Amino acid sequence: MDIDSNEFFRQATMRICGSLDIETAMWKALEYMENFIPLTGMNLVLGEPGMPAIETLAQVSRYKIEKMDRIIPLPPETRSEVESHWASLHDVIIINHPEMFPATLKVTQLIDRPDMSIMTLPLKIQDKRLFALVIYLIGPRQYESEHARLLSMLHDPFAIAMSNALRHQEVLKLKEMLADDNRYLYKEMLRISGDEIIGKDAGLKQVFDMVRQVAPINIPVLLLGETGVGKEVIANAIHYSSPRKNQPFIKVNCGAIPETLIDSELFGHEKGAFTGALFQKRGRFERADKGTILLDEIGELPQEVQARLLRVLQEKEIERVGGTVPVPVDVRIIAATNRDLKNMVNSNRFREDLWFRLNVFPIKIPPLRERRDDIANLVYYFINRKSVERNISSPPTIDPKAIDQMKAYSWPGNVRELENYVERILIQYQGKNISGPLIFEDTIFKKAEFDIYNQPVAGEENTSEGKIIQHLKEIAKIILPQVNSENLTSSADKNEPLDLEEALSLHIRKVLKLTGGKINGQGGAAELLNINPNTLRSKMRKLDLLKKQK
């Protein structure tokens, strides 16, 4: 039949370019083209020279056949055939006898159609080879030169349409990546700002009043409070309410960095400064330039590092390990600790001049037991948030009596302990696959009778030592009758005065006895003592308890 080439080109182009979805466009093209060219299927493949395989990008077919593997390896002897077929990009290759071509024979064998006739249209756009369109029909010698002429007319529409479709897929992939990033950032915002919302108009109102006062002023801030009260949350609030909010916010846990690495981590090092220093490294202070740095657990810093930190505060510059040239830095310092730095100054464990520099604007964050009215809101908040994280469609309810029970508990681990407890209960709830209100087991609340943190000690409320001295006899009355230990009661029962080291050693040994020697993790000695495990080990090392523990 006579074919109007212009009309064929126009109609085919409209269908080929009518959708950004590759397979949709190919189906529309097939439905029109089969009126002029014998075909029952087409594949879009990527098979550039040098590639050891052919990749199928899309496939449409009227045959009820399984889709072939996305990647089809090519033996070395078949690669030259593919490259020769791509030599003349606009020429349609007719393959009426696949058995004569190793590459096409392999493909037809994979789909169990060795008697297939094939035409291949290499596609190219902007001088870059992209892929090839392969059309086929069952039976030998099905294609003639006229069919090849018509297919060759569609080179540019197919090339442009396929290029646009692939770019569209890339945009969708980037959109999904962006959505995933947004979900991650949203979770991070929830993580760092949960307590910023819960309690800021109640138990933390005074704290947030101070945050609003100090945030715009470029001075150091010292955050004081027990472990788990939310010092990082308050530091976030200060930074993101300050003029530096669009600049870096670097967080450093001073107690988690080994002493041998802390100089390099904070101040960086030059290439060759020590064995393994293969490159120059920027430290945390340089990374925080123009922004804020949070030095958490600052009481754990060795005195040598304290001296170098004092220089940063005074001179606004650092010196890399192995370096000789000062590096200026513009950094706001927020320090945080659960220690009594003033007491540490008096005992020569913390530099007095550094303490004066850091203690410009201290903010004391109250423990959870001092803001019990916030507990209910925190529990509801954590239940809703953890339910979303754990894909629980309908967050469970809570018995009001359970809230009263939680308010009565002293929460020595503060908000962090409450969050972990709620998550543990939710996991149990989800595992049992039950409905109804959450049922809280009361085992953790029995620990309250051993809680030595119920009453703060004047002047010592932020140190383990101060609490121990104040409550040692009270602890002995409760704990010692239950502990079969090696005469740990001698000094306490006789009411003889204990020096600080003896009191500390006695208390740590008792707690280790209760935990069966466990230091880390839930129910470990560090958790019961409400201090960092590294800090506990450091104290045990000084008291010669580690060897005994082993």
pLDDT in tens, 79-100: 565 555 555 555 788 887 766 6
What is the share, in percent, of the chain residues with pLDDT greater than 90? 19
| 471 confidence band (pLDDT: 50, 70, 90) | very low
| 461 confidence band (pLDDT: 50, 70, 90) | very low
Furthest-apart CA atoms within the chain: distance in Å: 117
3-state secondary structure of 132: strand
pLDDT in tens, 371-389: 888 988 898 888 888 888 8
Higher-confidence position of 462 and 539: 539
| 293 confidence band (pLDDT: 50, 70, 90) | very high
Q: Among 114, 85, 78, 111, which residue's Cα sits nearest to residue 99?
A: 114
Identify the pLDDT of residue 42.
Answer: 86
Q: Is the pLDDT of residue 466 over 70?
A: no
| 246 confidence band (pLDDT: 50, 70, 90) | confident
Identify the pLDDT of residue 336.
Answer: 95
| 404 confidence band (pLDDT: 50, 70, 90) | confident
| 219 confidence band (pLDDT: 50, 70, 90) | very high
Domains and CATH numbers, the chain: 5-168 (3.30.450.40), 198-366 (3.40.50.300), 370-445 (1.10.8.60), 452-550 (no CATH)
Q: Is the pLDDT of residue 358 over 90?
A: yes
Separation between Cα atoms, residue 32 and residue 43, nearest integer Å: 16
Identify the pLDDT of residue 527.
Answer: 79
Across the beta sheet with 116-125, the strand order is: 71-73, 53-61, 41-46, 128-138, 116-125, 93-95
Q: How far is CA 56 from the centre of its chain?
A: 35
Separation between Cα atoms, residue 16 and residue 529, nearest integer Å: 71
In the block, residue with structure tokens 């049992």:
432
| 458 confidence band (pLDDT: 50, 70, 90) | very low
In the block, residue with structure tokens 């593919």:
82
* Average pLDDT value for the chain: 77
**Apex CA 272: angle with CA 267 and CA 276, to 5°?**
85
Q: List the single range of 133-137, 166-170, 181-185, 476-480 with lowest mean pLDDT.
A: 476-480
pLDDT in tens, 16-60: 888 888 888 889 999 999 899 998 888 887 765 555 666 777 888
Identify the pLDDT of residue 452.
Answer: 37
Q: Is the pLDDT of residue 146 over 80?
A: yes
Higher-confidence position of 404 and 82: 404
Q: How many helices (H) and strands (E) does the chain have?
A: 22, 13
Q: Among 194, 501, 171, 195, which residue's Cα sits nearest to residue 365?
A: 195
- Rounded mean pLDDT of 284-301? 92
In the block, residue with structure tokens 């439905």:
31
Structure tokens at 109: 């064998």
Q: Is the pLDDT of residue 65 over 80?
A: no
Q: Is the pLDDT of residue 224 over 60?
A: yes
| 462 confidence band (pLDDT: 50, 70, 90) | very low
Higher-confidence position of 301 and 437: 301
Separation between Cα atoms, residue 402 and residue 393, nearest integer Å: 22
Identify the pLDDT of residue 99.
Answer: 67
In the block, residue with structure tokens 């009481």:
299
Identify the pLDDT of residue 337.
Answer: 94
pLDDT in tens, 477-524: 444 444 434 444 444 444 555 566 777 888 888 888 888 888 887 778
Identify the pLDDT of residue 181.
Answer: 59
| 169 confidence band (pLDDT: 50, 70, 90) | confident
Identify the pLDDT of residue 290.
Answer: 92
